[in-house]
């Protein structure tokens, strides 16, 4: 194997492996270096998303949701199953099997596309040289016309709640519990806190989420966030807002967490504590200072709109750069960069990136929130439709939540679509396509939606923006 490539990608997560595959499809000679190792010591492609993020968390969310529904919902359908019994070992091994299979799938895709897969560590040197250190081997020097940095991100650690892998864990540890903690604490009421908090709460943990901000789910539309907070509270999730953790201490039984809010100081004892207060770009041990790659605020690699760094022919994608830390955002950047390198057209529409929170009910949105439109003094109209009036949602026994459509008051162009309810993460796809095609609320109104489907709620919300909803009273 020669050590000269057209493209060397550092990082084999959804941003990096997709960039490598597309670059190879474009006829380029490509290598992808990835350092990920699973607890068995074996390298595994797919990065955080596949090995300790999107996929394992969704596997456990699905299993725990079924467990919960079997215990709480089946009876209302007339199905008596008795009290469901949890076999966590089987649940965990099912999750691990899905991850293993997909990681092997990327290996096969690399082979099929002719991408050279290099397990080990990559370090960018000046003049597009890369020092590659194989696992347990001597460093080698690689050369590349173009380098794509895709090293991803790592969890933020709090100085007063250090990860010990046992009682105080990050999201990776929280996916691997071998027993359901009786009392679970979560620092951070963001996406990870809510998803993983939900998993263990559904399996029986008494779960308390401690969130620093006063506003719940600050990044979501306010109306949707308020509905989510109400529904999670009803489910028994204890969410404490405006709460700043000041100290954690080991106790005989677990961890004592001290925090402050406007009412004063409080203490809480839990058996396990998940810290999920955000992630930071993984630039440590990646860049020679003379390589010319500058960092922006909060340690992200500085890039332009097309993911070029400040060094010639060095690109950066995914969690390493600005924008939402989402797998599909990173993958699209990988595709764009691989196409631009090959001299083709490449573009990412940052205004139409969907966000999904896989709780029950799911929360999903694309475009701007009502708060953002107000802030921008944009004139808009609002249409909403409650799933309570959706025949399909009723049949599914999941009729809580709503769809909210925001459109330009003057031009009718869609500005944002926000959903809380069953399969919101699937439903949002329609809104993403509509926004990608610069559709109006009227375009959605005139699109035929099958009956009875959940998607009719989007149709009705679009109608409601013009006070023309057919299955709700227009106010
Ligand atoms: P990563 O996936 O982090 O991959 C980077 C890879 O680079 C890793 O394998 C790392 O080992 C390797 N690497 C780092 N430095 C080097 C180096 N110097 N040399 C060689 N290799 C290196 N996003 C969603 O869109 N949907 C979800 O449902 C979702 N769920 C999530 C759940 C959890 C619990 C977590 C933690 C994250 C979740 N995310 C989700 C976020 C998603 O995982 C990230 O946005 C995504 O993985 C970023 O992709 P990436 O390729 O930029 O980086
Ligand atoms: P996040 O930014 O979503 O949430 C972190 C939360 O912690 C925020 O609400 C913040 O106010 C709070 N916080 C910060 N410091 C705190 C402190 N000291 N005490 C109490 N609260 C504090 O981050 P995350 O949940 O760690 O997730 C990391 C990234 O992973 C996110 O950017 C997210 O996009 C991605 N992710 C996505 C999905 C998905 O797409 N479904 C799932 C999981 C993770």
* Model confidence pLDDT, tens digit, residues 394-420: 999 999 999 999 999 999 999 999 999
Domain assignment present for residue 473? The answer is no
Co-location of 20 and 138 in the same domain = yes
Co-location of 121 and 175 in the same domain = no
Domain assignment present for residue 338? The answer is yes
Q: Which of 38, 39, 152, 319 to mutate to test the pocket of ligand 1 (most atoms within 8 A of CB)?
A: 152
Mean pLDDT, residues 122-142: 96
Co-location of 211 and 112 in the same domain = no
CATH number at residue 209: 3.50.50.60
Mean pLDDT over each residue of the chain, to the nearest integer: 97
Q: What is the pLDDT of residue 205?
A: 98
Co-location of 419 and 450 in the same domain = yes
Atom of ligand 1 nearest to the CA of 152: 53
Q: Which ligand sits closest to the CA of 172?
A: 1
Ligand 1 mean position, distance from CA 322 (Å): 14
Q: Which of 157, 168, 192 to mutate to test the pocket of ligand 2 (most atoms within 8 A of CB)?
A: 192
Name all residues whose Cβ lies below 6 A of ligand 2: 158, 187-193, 195, 210-213, 244-245, 276-279, 324-326, 356-358
In this structure, which residue's CA is closest to atom 30 in ligand 2? Answer: 325
In this structure, are residues 40 and 51 in contact, taking their beta carbons and an 8 Å threshold?
A: no
Atom of ligand 1 nearest to the CA of 11: 7
Co-location of 388 and 376 in the same domain = yes
pLDDT digit string, tens, across residues 203-241: 999 999 999 999 999 999 999 999 999 999 999 999 999
Torsion of CA 70, 72, 73, 76, to 10 degrees: 120
By CB neighbour count within 10 A (0-12 exposed, 13-18 middle, 19+ buried), where does 99 fall?
buried
pLDDT digit string, tens, across residues 43-93: 999 999 999 999 999 999 999 999 999 999 999 999 999 999 999 999 999
Co-location of 145 and 287 in the same domain = yes
In this structure, which residue's CA is closest to atom 40 in ligand 2? Answer: 356
Question: pLDDT grade, residue 1 (50/70/90)?
Answer: very low
Active site positions, annotated: 451
- Degrees, nearest 5: CA angle 5-314-21: 50
Checking phi first, is residue 47 left (phi over 0); if not, alpha (psi -120 to 50) or beta? Answer: left
Ligand 2 mean position, distance from CA 379 (Å): 31
Ligand 1 mean position, distance from CA 37 (Å): 13
Q: Which ligand sits closest to the CA of 188?
A: 2
Co-location of 260 and 407 in the same domain = no
Q: Which ligand sits closest to the CA of 330?
A: 1
Q: Which ligand sits closest to the CA of 48?
A: 1
Co-location of 137 and 14 in the same domain = yes
Domain assignment present for residue 161? The answer is no
CATH number at residue 441: 3.30.390.30
- The tokens describing 320, both together, are 């390493």
By CB neighbour count within 10 A (0-12 exposed, 13-18 middle, 19+ buried), where does 396 fall?
middle
Q: What is the pLDDT of residue 2?
A: 53
The domain tally of the chain equals 3
Atom of ligand 1 nearest to the CA of 172: 34
Q: Nearest-CA neighbor of 32 among 7, 52, 55, 51?
A: 7
Please work out whether the CB of residue 282 comes within 6 Å of at least one atom of ligand 1: yes
Please work out whether the CB of residue 150 comes within 6 Å of at least one atom of ligand 1: yes
Domain-ending residue, one of 292, 322, 348: 348
Distance in angstroms (rounded) separating the CA atoms of residues 391 and 397: 10
Domain assignment present for residue 264? The answer is yes
Q: Is the peptide bond before 60 cis (omega within 30 degrees of 0)?
A: no
Co-location of 331 and 307 in the same domain = yes
Domain-ending residue, one of 348, 376, 392: 348
Domain assignment present for residue 391? The answer is yes
Atom of ligand 2 nearest to the CA of 259: 19
Q: Which residue has the tokens 């396990």?
A: 272
Q: Which of 188, 210, 266, 426 to mutate to test the pocket of ligand 2 (most atoms within 8 A of CB)?
A: 188
Classified as helix, coil or strand, 185 is strand
Domain assignment present for residue 475? The answer is no
Co-location of 63 and 175 in the same domain = no
- The tokens describing 83, both together, are 């009290």
pTM for this predicted structure: 0.97
User: Is the confidence at residue 320, as pLDDT, over 60?
Assistant: yes
User: Is the confidence at residue 315, as pLDDT, over 60?
Assistant: yes
Atom of ligand 1 nearest to the CA of 320: 52
Domain assignment present for residue 163? The answer is no
Co-location of 431 and 448 in the same domain = yes
Q: Which of 12, 15, 54 to mutate to test the pocket of ligand 1 (most atoms within 8 A of CB)?
A: 54
Domain-ending residue, one of 277, 298, 313: 277
Q: Nearest-CA neighbor of 369 among 427, 436, 409, 416?
A: 416
Task: Tell me the residue range of the domain where 331 lies.
Answer: 4-154+280-348
* Strand partners for 275: 187
Distance in angstroms (rounded) separating the CA atoms of residues 360 and 345: 39
Co-location of 37 and 148 in the same domain = yes
In this structure, are residues 366 and 435 in contact, taking their beta carbons and an 8 Å threshold?
A: yes
In this structure, are residues 289 and 297 in contact, taking their beta carbons and an 8 Å threshold?
A: no
Domain assignment present for residue 469? The answer is no
């Amino acid at each position: 194997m020669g050590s000269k490539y057209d493209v060397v990608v550092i990082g084999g997560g959804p941003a990096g492996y997709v960039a490598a595959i597309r670059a190879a499809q474009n006829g380029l000679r490509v290598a992808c270096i990835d350092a990920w190792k699973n607890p068995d010591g074996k390298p595994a492609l797919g990065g955080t998303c596949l090995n300790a993020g999107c996929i394992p968390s969704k596997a456990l969310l699905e299993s725990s949701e079924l467990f919960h529904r079997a215990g709480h919902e089946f009876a209302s359908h007339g199905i008596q199953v008795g009290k469901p019994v949890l076999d966590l070992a089987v649940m965990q091994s099912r999750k691990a099997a899905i991850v293993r299979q997909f990681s092997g799938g990327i290996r096969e895709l690399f082979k099929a596309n002719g991408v050279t897969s290099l397990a080990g560590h990559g370090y960018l040197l000046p003049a597009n040289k890369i020092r590659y250190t194989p696992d347990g081997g001597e460093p080698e020097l690689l050369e590349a016309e173009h380098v794509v940095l895709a090293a991803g991100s790592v969890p933020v650690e709090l100085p007063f709640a250090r990860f010990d892998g046992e009682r105080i864990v990050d999201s990776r540890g929280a996916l691997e519990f071998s027993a359901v903690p009786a009392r679970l604490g979560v620092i951070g009421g963001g996406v990870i806190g809510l998803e993983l908090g939900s998993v263990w709460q559904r399996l029986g943990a008494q779960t308390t989420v401690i969130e620093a901000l006063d506003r719940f789910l600050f990044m979501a539309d306010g109306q949707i966030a308020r509905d989510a907070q109400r529904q999670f509270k009803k489910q028994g999730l204890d969410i404490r807002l405006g709460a700043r953790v000041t100290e954690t201490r080991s106790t005989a039984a677990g961890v004592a967490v001290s925090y402050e809010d406007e009412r004063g100081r409080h203490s809480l004892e839990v058996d396990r504590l998940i810290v999920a207060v955000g992630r930071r770009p993984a630039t440590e041990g990646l860049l020679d200072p003379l390589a010319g790659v500058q960092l922006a605020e909060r340690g992200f690699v500085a890039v332009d709109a097309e993911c070029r760094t400040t060094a010639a022919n060095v690109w950066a994608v995914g969690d390493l750069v600005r924008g939402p830390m989402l797998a599909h955002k990173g993958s699209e950047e990988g595709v764009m960069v691989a196409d631009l390198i090959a001299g083709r057209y490449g573009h990412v529409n940052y205004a139409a990136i969907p966000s999904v929170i896989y709780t029950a009910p799911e929360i999903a949105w694309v475009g701007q929130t009502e708060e953002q439109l107000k802030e921008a003094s944009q004139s808009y109209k609002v249409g909403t439709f409650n799933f309570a009036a959706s025949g399909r949602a009723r049949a599914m026994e999941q009729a809580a939540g709503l769809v909210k459509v925001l459109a330009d008051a003057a031009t009718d162009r869609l500005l944002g679509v926000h959903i809380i309810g069953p399969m919101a993460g699937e439903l949002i796809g329609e809104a993403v396509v509509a926004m990608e095609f610069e559709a109006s609320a009227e375009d959605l109104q005139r699109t035929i939606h099958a009956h009875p489907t959940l998607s009719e709620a989007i149709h009705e919300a679009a109608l409601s923006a013009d006070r023309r909803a057919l299955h709700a009273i227009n106010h």
